[in-house]
């Protein structure tokens, strides 16, 4: 189905045929734009940015590229094409036809999960509000803005579902999505990670690698949902999400590459010597990784969760790539969980958050292996590593446990004393910010990061991806 761009709100959901819904969304649109102007990328409203915009939902040729001023970006509502005769793939309703409406008894659970998903999207834009000011190149600046406009579109995706299927409650929730703000003391965003500031590009790359990857897993699990409009919405969001994780993986890889080049040039791995050259030493990169990975692990919720069991049983949320499993009902199966109190046997349904977290960790390993290959090839003995999921947790069975990054239990005193070794200190953050001076000359790049291997959409790396007026 092609997208109708003549509409005020581009869409492939036949909005013109539902005047009430269309009016409600057109009423929300200026509020979104006000929010974007105030909380979106600061000071780049008049820049021409080489952006991709969704123009269809086919796997091939779904996007067009061109120079756009961000406030004029065509945010719209796009659902992946329906799958004929789709059946519910898990839980108590396994094998029954999927739902085109939300069953009355599941309204509040569905609404809660859609609101939680929706809340993360504008939150991430708010977290990156000032980042454009310290961009390492026009290529990177463009990627930041691409991620930002698409997170804005993902907000639209959830707001559409709220307006179309949840009546007045849904409209009120859509207003609230613009009223909560990342890091706001009185009205913070719902999930922890989305209240952490992103004030430097190393954090941005870690966030797009680790936190967007949580997005991938949550969206995959919602793509399994028995509520078909939610499933179709999430399937299309996943198409856009891949680029965000690419920005993270290649971003960290380019920082590592630059550091390795300097280590070779200087003949040392001394962190201070690297810093003196205005680049970021490998131990500091590890501390940033520790911070964002552990924070993102918390986003999967508690190891034992009756909410997760209910979501699975009721068809709200399956496991990512549910077809990989044999048992889709899981009413009898159990799961062996390790907690600080010892081993515990729980019903598999209650352990769904943990199952998802483990698949996520496996996926996170892939990039770490690639970064480590770079080090091996460069002859460095340093290796990055994911810390244990027992380390620095604030949600679930291991919340507040004193464990080191290898997962060993240590005394509270040792934990408190050594935590600054494992996480970025204020001095680390100040140093990282200090090297991030804005570079906006075409084809130029900051000294702390290597250039990308290739440009966007087959354009050269030194293309003027953002024209600043």
Which residues are near ligand BYC by CB under 6 A? Answer: 112-113, 116-117, 120-121, 124, 151, 191-192, 211-212, 214-215, 218, 298-302, 305, 307-308, 317, 353, 395
Please tell me the distance from the alpha carbon of residue 150 to that of residue 152, in angstroms, as a whole number. Answer: 5
3-class SS at 61? coil
> If you compute the radius of gyration of the chain from its CA atoms, what whole number of angstroms results?
23
Q: Which is nearer to ligand BYC, 118 or 253 (CB)?
A: 118
**What is the closest distance, in whole angstroms, from the C-beta atom of residue 107 to ligand BYC in the complex?**
15
65: which strand partners? 52
Least CB distance to ligand BYC at residue 84 (A):
27
Least Å from the CB of residue 306 to ligand BYC: 7
Which helix or strand (DSSP H or E) is residue 301 part of?
A: none
Q: How far is the CB of 175 from ligand BYC (least distance, A)?
A: 19
- Residue among 112 and 370 whose Cβ is closer to ligand BYC: 112
- Nearer to ligand BYC (CB atom), residue 164 or residue 299: 299
- Kindly state the smallest distance separating residue 60's Cβ from ligand BYC, in Å: 25
Residues 6 or more apart whose Cβ sits within 8 Å of residue 305: 350, 352, 353
* Nearest residue (CB) to ligand BYC, 121 versus 269: 121
The size of the chain, in residues, is 469
Cα 72 to chain centroid distance, Å, stands at 24
Q: Which residues contact 138 (CB under 8 A, 6 or more apart)?
A: 440, 442, 463, 464, 465, 466
Residue with the closest Cβ to ligand BYC? 301
Question: Which uninterrupted H or E stretch holds 339?
Answer: strand 334-339
Q: Report helix, strand or coil for 105.
A: helix
| Nearest to ligand BYC of 52, 357 (CB atom) | 357
Indicate the residue among 51 and 450 with the shorter CB distance to ligand BYC. 51
Q: CB of 114: closest distance to ligand BYC in angstroms?
A: 8
323 three-state secondary structure: helix
The dihedral region occupied by 278, where left means phi > 0, alpha psi between -120 and 50, and beta the remainder, is left
- Measured from the CB atom, the residue of 192 and 278 that comes closer to ligand BYC is 192
Query: Looking at beta carbons only, is 120 or 286 nearer to ligand BYC?
Result: 120
Per-residue tokens: 433 = 């910010």
- Report the residue number, 12 or 353, with the smaller CB distance to ligand BYC: 353
Helical spans, DSSP H, in 77-211: 107-127, 138-165, 167-179, 201-206
Q: How far is the CB of 352 from ligand BYC (least distance, A)?
A: 8
Closer to ligand BYC at the Cβ: 285 or 397? 397
Whether 91 contacts 227, CB under 8 Å:
no
378 within 8 A of 263, measured Cβ to Cβ: yes
The nearest distance, CB 309 to ligand BYC, in angstroms, is 9
Shortest Å, Cβ 288 to ligand BYC: 16
CB of 227 within 8 A of CB of 107?
Answer: no
Asked if residues 177 and 115 have their Cβ atoms less than 8 Å apart, the reply is: yes
- Min dist CB 36 to ligand BYC, Å, is 15
**228-266 and 282-298 helices, crossing angle to 10°:** 160
């Amino acid at each position: 189905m092609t997208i109708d761009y003549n509409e005020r709100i581009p869409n492939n959901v036949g909005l013109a045929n539902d005047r009430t819904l269309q009016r409600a969304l057109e009423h929300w649109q200026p509020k979104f734009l006000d929010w974007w102007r105030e909380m979106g990328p600061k000071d780049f409203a008049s820049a021409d940015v080489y952006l991709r915009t969704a123009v269809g939902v086919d796997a091939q040729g779904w996007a067009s590229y061109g120079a756009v001023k961000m406030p004029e970006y065509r945010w719209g509502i796009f659902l992946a094409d329906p799958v004929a005769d789709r059946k519910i793939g898990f839980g108590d309703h396994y094998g029954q036809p999927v739902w085109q409406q939300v069953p009355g008894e599941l309204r509040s659970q569905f609404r809660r999960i859609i609101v939680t998903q929706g809340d993360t999207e504008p939150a991430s834009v708010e977290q990156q509000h000032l980042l454009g000011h310290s961009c390492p190149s026009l290529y990177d600046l463009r990627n930041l803005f691409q991620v930002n406009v698409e997170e804005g579109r993902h907000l639209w995706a959830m707001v559409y579902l709220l307006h179309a299927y949840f009546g007045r409650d849904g409209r009120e929730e859509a207003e609230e999505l613009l009223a909560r703000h990342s890091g706001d003391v009185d009205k913070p965003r719902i999930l922890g990670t989305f209240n952490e500031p992103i004030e430097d590009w190393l954090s941005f790359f870690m966030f797009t690698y680790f936190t967007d990857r949580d997005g991938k897993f949550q969206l995959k699990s919602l793509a399994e949902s028995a509520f078909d409009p939610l499933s179709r919405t999430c399937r299309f969001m996943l198409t856009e999400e891949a680029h965000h994780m690419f920005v993270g993986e290649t971003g960290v890889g380019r920082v590592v590459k630059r550091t390795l080049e300097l280590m070779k040039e200087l003949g040392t791995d001394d962190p201070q010597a690297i810093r003196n050259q205005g680049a970021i030493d490998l131990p500091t990169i590890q501390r940033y990784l520790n911070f964002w990975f552990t924070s993102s692990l918390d986003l999967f919720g508690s190891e034992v969760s009756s909410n997760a069991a209910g979501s699975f049983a009721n068809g709200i949320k399956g496991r990512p790539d549910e077809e990989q499993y044999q048992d889709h009902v899981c009413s009898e199966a159990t799961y062996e969980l390790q907690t600080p109190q010892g081993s515990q046997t729980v019903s598999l349904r209650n352990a769904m958050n943990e199952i998802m977290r483990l698949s996520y960790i496996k996926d996170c390993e892939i990039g770490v292996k690639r970064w480590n290959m770079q080090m091996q090839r460069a002859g460095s003995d340093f290796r990055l590593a994911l810390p244990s999921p027992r380390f620095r947790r604030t949600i679930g069975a291991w919340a507040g446990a004193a464990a080191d990054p290898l997962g060993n239990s240590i005394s509270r005193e040792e934990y408190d004393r050594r935590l600054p070794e494992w996480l970025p200190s204020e001095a680390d953050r100040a140093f990282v910010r200090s090297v991030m001076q804005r570079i906006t000359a075409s084809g130029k790049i900051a000294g702390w990061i290597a250039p990308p291997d290739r440009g966007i959409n087959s354009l050269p790396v030194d293309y003027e991806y953002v024209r600043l007026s």
